[in-house]
Amino acid sequence: MLLHVMAWLLSIGLSTVHPAFAAMPNMDTIPDTTLLRLSEALLLNVKTDDSTQAIEAELAALDMPRLINGLNNDDAKKTFWINIYNAWFQILATREQKKAPQIFTKRYIPIAGSRFSLDDIEHGILRRYRWKFSKGYFANPFTRRNIRQLAVQKIDYRIHFTLNCGAKSCPPIAFYTYDNLNRQLNIAAKSFLGSETEIDTLARRLHVTKIMSWFSHDFRGKKGIRRIITQTLGKDVSGYRIRFRPYDRSEALRKFEDLKAEE
């Protein structure tokens, strides 16, 4: 019986295939640029300490069909929701004084007549309704209909290097734009992995971020981790043993980064 359940859980998430490491924006379906600008404006106001309430109200007043139809390809969805996640984590942690685990699990975020949690955005939309504690292997069968409608078609492992959870070991906050998304994600991956990876050539041992353990299937397991490190950092780590570094959860809010550097 358990095997049947596991097979079913896998079957409803089969579209979460290998991440689009070099995918370019889909220019055949132009997204609603107003939605993208709202996500950028919200994050900018967070960074500059300006009021976000007018933008929050505008996002809340959207209708759900516009949100679903306006974010009509994966690059648009990633751009919008990465910016929204990073903005709202800062809002919840500072203005609203929310703490873990509620800051992630409670649906505090009003958008398009619905309410979302940070977990809804990360695991529901950006990770195509993966069950949070399954390391990416299983879909969540209880996912709400609007989350399924808003979710990406394919999981891009690089999103794990963009979402900031307010801890020292979290990736920094950056501004993502639709037209430059692929380049920005590559820079984010190279920057974060460059700072979080230790390569011991004598012992043939690879020390990587704990994030790659928590969501191992998003990275295609240890074989995929080695391939990603080789591709991203330009060092052949084939056959290296993998160790996961301790995760520093000490608070580090407002950790912004400029992504204009060369890849």
Q: Give per-residue pLDDT as tens, 1-32.
A: 433 444 444 434 433 333 333 334 444 579 99
- Degrees, nearest 5: CA angle 45-50-53: 80
Q: Give per-residue pLDDT as tens, 113-135.
A: 999 999 999 999 999 999 999 99
Question: Per-residue pLDDT for 54 more than 60?
Answer: yes
| 225-254 average pLDDT score | 97
Domains in the chain: boundaries: 1-16+29-155, 168-263
Which amino acid appears at position 245 of this protein? R
Total-model pTM: 0.89
